[in-house]
Amino acid sequence: MKKIISLVFASILGGAIALGTYVYILGDAEIVEGLEVSNQPKAVQANFRIPSSTYAAEVTDFTKAAEETVHAVVHVKNVAVSRTNPIIEFFYGPDAGGSGGKTTIGTGSGVIISPDGYIITNNHVIKGAKEIEITLNNQKSYPAKVIGAHPNSDIALVKIDATDLPFVSFANSDNVKVGEWVLAVGNPFNLTSTVTAGIVSAKARNINISGGKMIESFIQTDAAVNPGNSGGALVNVRGELVGINTAITSQTGSFVGYSFAVPSNIAKKVVEDLIEYGDVRTAYLGIQAVPLNGEIAKELDVNRTQGVLVSGLLENGGAKKAGIKENDIIIQMDQIAINKYADLQGFLSSKRPGDVVAVTVLRDNKEKKIDVKLGNQFGKESIGKLDFSKNLLGDLEKISKKAASKYRLNYGVQFKSVKNPLFKRNDIKEGNIILSVAETKVYEVQEVEDLLRANKGGEVIIQILNSEGYVEYFKIDIPD
């Protein structure tokens, strides 16, 4: 028994001595280790968050921008009537059979831009509308009238009879930076007052949704945009309007990571023109252009691969008058870098005929700055009384009594001279008769002019009776 007690006591004593030695040695080791690592970088886990005291919280706090914007973004309902049977309507009229056509309803978004009820949206949101209803965020509804629309930019302006409305101010979209936070505000799938966030992914993006017929210099963002968002607001973190949400690219019809907005500078210019003039005044530089690339740069022996190459000059354009030459490479306009054609298109779309811009070109590998006064589609500051018919067709006059009698016509206008190259190539001559423009019979020269103006940015069919008594049809594009 004494041996067992002695053995236990010895074990306890040995353990105590060992433990004391361990603590003493380990304590010294910890002190040494702490000193050794004090001058080394700290390793942290990948999900480590920067303390709030060293991070600008307002950068990712969208509550203020959302609150200021959501009340100024409206729901737009488009009530249209579509044909039910085009063949029956052609022979018996649109109300044949008492159908009156099929009523369809489309929805989208809009942005209030003034307290007295001006609302900006997309042209495709209100196109073909028989009735337009605007619903505010507080659920009040108003009928709206169309002030004007510009299909080439897909921007439209409508107005409601109301006052003291919340509205969004325009920002300068030229100052938007790639990587900047933005909010998309709208009504996707009829879910009103929806806010999503993302960053600006790219600027001056051309997605070729119109086959070259539209101004395509979009702001690309990864903020979620879906059907119903069209016409809604893209705003910065200060709640300022930087774009109008317009399109997505998707194989499913829903958002898959890319959305596109018309820059606010273009939208602002369009609505100002619609209010002041009733239509949009488009500015032209007066050049034919192709985007610069590595192959062209090598051929021209230039030391850059970004810019717009001047491949031709219009006779009456501002560029030729100012001294720009063929093979000049446009690299900057005012303070805006021109790296591709969409940059040039976007810049000009925010300007008006008569504006003077500083164009920087690369000529013989040297930069040269040239001031250019922009013109309209005919190289002038304003449209003359018969500019469209004279420049696009030729000099016209009312049909003569002799021609009217010969062809048994009581309508039509004659060519005094032919200017359109397409007509000349097809042997259209002086004395040939224009019977209709855009499927509308014409009796006076001014009617031809008005029909051409009404189809700016589109195309029309011209019906011409030639000198041999045959009717020919020609499709011509009308510059915006």
pLDDT at 457 > cutoff 60? yes
pLDDT at 295 > cutoff 60? yes
Q: Catalytic annotation on 230?
A: yes
pLDDT at 190 > cutoff 90? no
Give me the long-range contacts of 199-203 (CB less than 8 A, separation at least 24).
199/223, 200/176, 201/258, 202/178, 203/176, 203/178, 203/263
What percent of the chain has a predicted confidence (pLDDT) above 90? 68
- Pick the catalytic residue: 201, 230, 264, 436? 230
What is the per-residue pLDDT for 88? 53
54: Cβ contacts below 8 Å, ≥ 6 apart:
none
Average pLDDT in the 163-182 region?
95
- Pick the catalytic residue: 71, 124, 343, 436? 124
Tell me how far apart the alpha carbons of residues 290 and 477 are, in angstroms, rounded to a whole number. 20
For 116-155, the pLDDT digits (tens) are 999 999 999 999 899 999 999 999 999 999 999 999 999 9
pLDDT at 45 > cutoff 90? no
pLDDT at 35 > cutoff 90? no
What is the per-residue pLDDT for 93? 57
Residues present in the chain in total: 480
What is the per-residue pLDDT for 90? 52
What is the per-residue pLDDT for 60? 72
Amino acid at 303: N
pLDDT at 268 > cutoff 70? yes
Which tokens hold the place of 232? 């809604």
Average pLDDT in the 289-300 region?
91
Domains of the chain: 56-280 (2.40.10.120), 287-373 (2.30.42.10), 387-477 (2.30.42.10)
For 365-408, the pLDDT digits (tens) are 999 999 999 999 999 998 899 999 999 999 999 999 999 999 99
What is the per-residue pLDDT for 96? 52
Average pLDDT in the 427-451 region?
95
Q: Are strands 233-235 and 181-186 parallel, antiparallel or unpaired?
A: antiparallel
What is the per-residue pLDDT for 50? 37
What is the per-residue pLDDT for 85? 59
Q: Catalytic annotation on 124?
A: yes
pLDDT at 281 > cutoff 70? yes
pLDDT at 9 > cutoff 70? no
End-to-end CA distance of the chain: 115
pLDDT at 7 > cutoff 70? no
- Residue 86 pLDDT grade (very low, low, confident, very high; cuts 50, 70, 90): low
pLDDT at 314 > cutoff 70? yes
Which tokens hold the place of 87? 């063949």
What is the per-residue pLDDT for 210? 72
Find tokens 């991070």 and name the residue.
Answer: 55
Q: Catalytic annotation on 154?
A: yes
What is the per-residue pLDDT for 57? 40
- Residue 95 pLDDT grade (very low, low, confident, very high; cuts 50, 70, 90): low
pLDDT at 11 > cutoff 70? no
Chain Cα centroid distance, residue 175:
16
For 201-260, the pLDDT digits (tens) are 999 998 887 777 788 899 999 999 988 999 999 999 999 999 999 988 776 777 778 899
- Pick the catalytic residue: 75, 109, 150, 154? 154
What is the per-residue pLDDT for 248? 84
